[in-house]
A and B are shown apart, each in its own frame.
Chain A
Amino acid sequence: MTEKIATREAYGNTLVELGRENRDIVVLDADLAKSTKTIKFKKNFPERFFDLGIAEQNMIGTAAGLAAAGKIPFCSSFAVFATGRAFEQVRNSVAYSGLNVKIAASHAGVTVGEDGGSHQSVEDIALMRVLPGMTVFVPADAVETAGAVRAAVSLDGPVYIRLGRPAVPVLHGPDFRFVPGKGVVLRKGKDATVIATGIMVSAALEAAELLAKEGIEAGVLDLHTIKPLDVEAVVAAARETGALVTAEEHSIIGGLGSAVAEAVAEHCPVPVKRVGLPDRFGESGAPAELLEKFKLTPQNLVSSVKEILTRK
């Protein structure tokens, strides 16, 4: 069995490593340090950790000031609150001002589970992607998470990192190099390509495996960076396989599916099928039940690939 680690866990661990390497890194949270795993940083570097309480807007505003004064702040909360509640602070105090603030939000998507739709962010990628100058990372596993967090430090400017609650399979080996803005071809295809992000990458790999048994060669392109989008890799997949299925634990509006559809519509029109939440909120249930209900499973990706093949 492959090892499983939650991306939020990997985030907490990487923050501790970075805290040792770089004295300018500071971490902010809004009464969710145990859940976002910033508590690991707090334990190691209490003087560089600031809990703002249940006050996400104040957290983002404070981070803007810290960044303006030369620090590298990482801000964490649940994705709904970090990007939604504090949206306009992110827009004006951070993005408009071009400040070096990193927003690493956990509990994104429906795998939040039983807490329900009020807590399941299915819109954060869209909200962050629309902001000029914002880099958006959606890591698929612990290795990509570590890479994304390190890349965020080396990039000057605002970065959003989307993290999840449940443990997910580790897909990459220790030699994996995370290159911001560069998609990762995990599997070459001929008939169609599944372009996936976050937890849907492992589902895409499983789907490709199942399709291969039926003689359908589906490629898998892992886009851990939604912005800037790797247009070259997307267009190459469109050219080489002629049909695309996008897969994300997010609304089909405004996220990966939209970004890919925009790119191919401009550069290389081919049939595109977007898999994600169909313009609705999530709801309570066990994470696995919800993935099933919202058709975010390898089996559904298999059907989606077959469907898109009929439109080629």
Chain B
Amino acid sequence: MEIKQLRAKAKEIRRHIIRMLGRAGSGHPGGSLSAADMVTALLFREMRLKPSEPDWPDRDRFVMSKGHAAPLLYAALAERGFFPVDELMTLRGLGSRLQGHPDMKKLPGVEMSTGSLGQGLAAANGMALATRLDGKDCRVYVLLGDGEIQEGMVWEAAMAAAHYKLDHLTAFVDHNGLQIDGPVARVMSPEPVAEKWRAFGWHTICIDGHDMEQILNALSEARTIKGRPTMIVAETVKGKGCSFMEGQEDWHGVAPNPEETEKALLEMV
């Protein structure tokens, strides 16, 4: 997919996110919208996938470590053809395959069950080790929240990925500056983020996480790096694309009501 189409696809995915959350009446819009451009770039351009064969052994893997951004993951997977787009409207309902947080046993395309923050990078490391053992040239991607990286386990995994020279592993930090209790820097500052990953032995790139060209360039650069994993620290705006949600901590885990849903969708045409 070309850049222009990717931008359009990201917009369509944002519209799905708003509709799904509006329908469900609960869920996490802020962190779903902030990461939409990165996930679109991964699923529609960067990754080798076969939606008709979700368990294809040679596929690339994506772990949504910040599992509360499930609406984003689901919208992207549905648009990519892993399951019918209509099913998006069942989000969070009783009996739905679209659980509040991603459940790999239920939904095709979900590579790891997440929702408990901090655990995705270790799982991605495991996938990277396994595909390397099998002699495959698969790449593994993982998306972390900037609050999520407060979990100690993230840094245990950061150390391990560099130690095992997982150069086919690429991670993103969605640096939107907000978590539940307020600005990340005020709750428990992980700064300086990029320097920390560098110190842990990662090739580290800083980009604007809403600039499709920068996202694609960073992913291409990551492919050229040998002997260590790559971290892409993406500056983003929480709630991106919806004026009244942008930069607002209170839109972390609250769904838009019917009027707000309509208002948001009007902005996203």
Contact = CB atoms under 8 A, between A and B. Distances in A.
User: Which of B67, B100, B187 has its CB near the most chain A CB atoms (within 10 A)?
Assistant: B100
Interface in B91-113: 92-96, 98-101, 103, 113
Interface residues of A, number: 32
Contact of B188 (A53, A85, A113): A53
Contact of B187 (A51, A114, A283, A289): A51
Interface string B164-197: 0000000000000001110010011000000000
B27 interface: yes
A289 B150 contact: no
A95 interface: no
B188 A284 contact: no
Given A81-B116, A114-B100, A119-B101, A51 B188 contact: yes
Given A58-B152, A286-B94, A117 B103 contact: yes
Interface string A1-45: 000000000000000000000000000010111110001000000
A116 B92 CA distance: 8
B148 interface: yes
B99 A117 contact: yes
Nearest to A286: B94
Nearest to A285: B94
A119 to B, nearest CB: 6
Interface of A: 29, 31-35, 39, 51-55, 57-58, 80-81, 84-85, 113-119, 283-286, 289-290, 293
Interface residues of B, number: 32
Given A31-B147, A58-B152, A51 B181 contact: yes
B61 to A, nearest CB: 19
Ranked 5 nearest A-B pairs via Cβ: A53-B188, A285-B94, A118-B115, A116-B100, A53-B150
Contacts of A289: 94
Contact of A55 (B103, B152, B180): B152
A283 B99 contact: yes
20 contacts: A35-B180, A53-B147, A53-B188, A54-B148, A54-B150, A85-B116, A114-B24, A114-B25, A114-B26, A114-B100, A115-B26, A115-B100, A115-B101, A118-B114, A119-B101, A283-B94, A283-B99, A284-B100, A285-B92, A286-B94
Nearest to A56: B151
B143 interface: no
A285 B93 contact: yes
B117 interface: yes
B179 A54 contact: yes
B31 interface: no
A84 B103 CA distance: 18
Contacts of A52: 150, 188
Contacts of B188: 31, 51-55
Interface of B: 24-27, 67, 92-96, 98-101, 103, 113-118, 147-148, 150-152, 179-181, 184, 187-188
Contacts of B67: 118
A33 B181 contact: yes
Given A58-B152, A284-B99, 18 more contacts: A31-B180, A34-B180, A35-B180, A52-B188, A53-B147, A54-B150, A54-B151, A55-B152, A81-B116, A116-B100, A116-B103, A116-B115, A118-B100, A118-B113, A283-B94, A284-B98, A285-B93, A289-B94
A53 B179 contact: yes
A284 B179 contact: no
A292 to B, nearest CB: 9
Given A53-B150, A114-B92, A32 B180 contact: yes
Contacts of B93: 284-285
Contacts of B184: 53
B94 A284 contact: yes
Nearest to B249: A34
A31 B118 CA distance: 13
A116 B99 CA distance: 6
Given A53-B179, A57-B152, A114-B24, A284 B96 contact: yes
A54 to B, nearest CB: 4
B176 to A, nearest CB: 14
B100 A54 contact: no
Contacts of B180: 31-35
A32 B187 CA distance: 11
A286 B169 CA distance: 38
B12 to A, nearest CB: 24
A113 B253 CA distance: 14
Contacts of B148: 54
B157 to A, nearest CB: 14
B181 A32 contact: yes
A284 B100 CA distance: 6
Given A32-B180, A54-B179, A119 B100 contact: yes
B231 to A, nearest CB: 18
Contacts of B94: 283-286, 289-290, 293
Contacts of B117: 54
A289 B150 CA distance: 35
A271 B116 CA distance: 39
Nearest to A114: B92
